[in-house]
Amino acid sequence: MLRIYRPIEGKVLPLLLYFHGGGFVVGDLESHDSTCRRLAKQNECVVVAVDYRLAPEYPFPIPCEDCYEAIVWAVKNASSLGVNPERVAVMGDSAGGNLATVVAMIARDRKGPTIACQVLIYPTTDASKSMPSIESLKDGYLLTKEMIHWFSKNYCGLEDNLRQSYLSPLFATDLINLPPALVITAEFDPLKDEGEEYARKLKESGNHVVFKEYEGMIHVFFQMPKYLPEARMAEAQVASFLQQYLFSKSA
């Protein structure tokens, strides 16, 4: 299921596919409705929110394929959606950040659609959970080590190779020729190390990367712009990045 947000009628707009967070197990169109509304309004783009199927009933790689099929559908139906098929971005938070970058990888590997840029908000990139911050920030910061392992167990299902590319982008053997990326993490998020390390590896592979860790913040801070000035700062950074990489092509 998809939900489409259009801030302006009668104008061909860029397209942003949004994949919600929730550990691949929870979350839906409603949980991220306000986020998608704000993104559409702030950036004057059509946002398509993707209600991909959830684990444990639908483990890896089903959510990846759902999200890829959503972008293929959106590009094929660009005319009826009123969007420019050459100005397409992917974005997601947490598990959705994983899905956004995996969709970018799949699109590269399957020769399309072309993705202009990717926005990854505290993405999970390591299903094996090997990074130090998982342990150092394991309790007391909303998202706990126990929760992370529960989500991962449900999503990975019977997979025995937790470091395969589409499951753990951090360990992908080929990260070249991926879209420019904005990677945002939070200082007190146990996922912060895998987000930062993924940004480093993307850059090391020759991709353009903007990385920012927001001091004093925890996981899900991006969903709290009403209360946190840092969330509003992050929204502004997303807008600036999209302006540079999504709006740069002629309509």
User: Which positions are catalytic?
Assistant: 94, 189, 219
Burial of 108-118, coded b for 16+ CB within 10 Å and e otherwise, reads beeeebebbbb
Q: Which helix (H) or strand (E) holds 69?
A: helix 62-76
C-alpha distance from residue 139 to each of 33, 43, 82 (Å) = 28, 36, 45
Question: At 100, is the secondary structure helix, strand, or coil?
Answer: helix
| Residues 138, 119: Cα–Cα separation, whole Å | 25
- Kindly report the number of other CB atoms within 10 A of residue 68's CB atom: 25
What spatial distance separates the first Cα and last Cα of the chain, rounded to whole Å? 27
